[in-house]
Amino acid sequence: MDKLNKFIEDMGDKITNKIDKKRRFYFNVKNEDLRDVVDVLWNEIGCRLSTATGMEMEDALEILYHFSDDETGQYYCPRLVIEDKEKPEANSIALIIKGAEWIEREIFDCWGVNFIDHPRMEKLLLLNHPDKLDKTMRMEGAK
């Protein structure tokens, strides 16, 4: 069994809405399962975190992580959907992956997502901005 199929089998119900394209595997994960899934990707499969993409859709915010398995060239893309746009929160994965610190700070900066347990949850890109920007880049009604 190859790594991808083993991962799918091991994760069971923790991952849903699976889309398998050529060397790209997208799937949804719940906030409470995020760290478990990331732990397997990082420690067992040995993936590297390329980055994470914050997105605003009409009814939710999305965070799409991009994990690269450099041995096989396979991309694993867990998608976290945050429906509470008023007070968006997600579990930080920076406790598992040091390299996620800046990535999560940028999403906090741009989309207002608060990452729980992040070691330094403050702005990254707008930290030294001369104007006091209290709004994110989100659409109308942004907090």
Which residues would be at the binding site for other proteins (CB under 8 A)? 21-24, 26, 48-51, 53, 55, 64, 66, 68, 70-73, 75, 77, 97-102, 123-129, 137
* Residue given tokens 């959907």 in the structure block: 81
Beta bridge partners of 51: 66
Selection from 107, 110, 72 nearest residue 93 by Cα: 107
Minimum CB separation of residue 51 from other proteins in Å reads 4
CA distance 12 to 91: 20
Between 12 and 120, CB nearer to other proteins: 120
Between 39 and 99, CB nearer to other proteins: 99
Pairing of strands 61-69, 15-21: unpaired
Between 9 and 45, CB nearer to other proteins: 45
Minimum CB separation of residue 135 from other proteins in Å reads 15
Minimum CB separation of residue 141 from other proteins in Å reads 19
Cβ atoms of residues 83 and 114 within 8 Å: no
